[in-house]
Amino acid sequence: AAGVIQSPRHLIKEKRETATLKCYPIPRHDTVYWYQQGPGQDPQFLISFYEKMQSDKGSIPDRFSAQQFSDYHSELNMSSLELGDSALYFCASSPMDRGYRNTIYFGEGSWLTVV
């Protein structure tokens, strides 16, 4: 079965640079979520999209932005990177019919290291 695809899997950036992470949800899933997980931490909710519209916002820094495109893939853009942004970034998706009631499936994550 198709899973959530994230790219790149690993990314190394310098401070103050910009990074873009991509997420391809499971086909026919209409809700996408982004999470950030620091070393030894629990996943922190950043933002979600339902039918290409932002649906919820969590602890996402103003330096970060995200969007969901017409083909339902999503991108997380991170600018002015800081050392503290080094983390594992997860994308997840859930199927149609009011996503919040359904199982959410996670990708393998994108490792971002800021040096």
Closest distance of CB 71 from another protein, Å: 19
Long-range contacts of 64-70 (CB under 8 A, 24+ apart): 66/34, 68/32
Site for another protein, residues 32 to 91, rule: CB under 8 A: 33, 35, 42-45, 48, 50, 55-56, 58, 88, 90
DSSP 3-state assignment of 95? strand
Binder to another protein among 25, 87, 99, 114 (CB under 8 A)?
Answer: 99
Closest distance of CB 114 from another protein, Å: 17
Binder to another protein among 5, 11, 60, 104 (CB under 8 A)?
Answer: 104
Nearest residue (CB) to another protein, 13 versus 45? 45
Segment contacting another protein by CB under 8 A, of 13-21, 67-75, 77-85, 99-107: 99-107
106 binds another protein (CB under 8 A): yes
How far is it, in rounded angstroms, from Cα 77 to Cα 97? 28
Tell me which residue of 108, 109, 110, 100 sits closest to 29, measured CA to CA.
100
How many residues in the chain? Answer: 115
Closest distance of CB 34 from another protein, Å: 11
